[in-house]
Amino acid sequence: MAELYPAGRLPVRARWEWAEAVARRNVGRIDRIEAEEFVFTDPAGRLWTKQRQLESLKAGDLEIDSFALSDVRARIYVDAAVVTFRIEWRGTFRGVDISGPQRMTDTFVKRDGRWQCVASQTTRIPP
């Protein structure tokens, strides 16, 4: 059975650090947090590999002015975890406003003593 952890516990801390790294376009930090096989499903249902995402960040496609995480929860299964949360972004992607609330689900695995994300999915929360 999984244990439910509130915000502040690993891998929840890794998730917050990841969001901060994305907002600051810290590609090195993102590279460490995301597993090589990482895949992101965006709100339109498109799949993004780690490589594609890092290239997009390096190109400056994403401009985040601010973000806030809330309702963060993690279910930990020994060396795997599912983190769910709400995130409110303020910013643009390729010049298009992406501001607003989203619900996200991340899947982490523990490797060599650290948590890495293998999959992430986001859904816009309608107004």
117 and 107 Cβ atoms separated by less than 8 Å: yes
Q: What is the pTM of this model?
A: 0.85
CA distances, 22 to each of 17, 56, 89, 91 (Å): 9, 11, 11, 12
pLDDT in tens, 34-43: 999 999 999 9
pLDDT in tens, 49-84: 999 999 999 999 999 999 899 998 889 888 999 999
Query: Residue 8's pLDDT is what?
Result: 44
Domains and CATH numbers, the chain: 3-124 (3.10.450.50)
Per DSSP, the three-state class of 22 is helix
Q: Which residues pair with 4 in a beta bridge?
A: 75
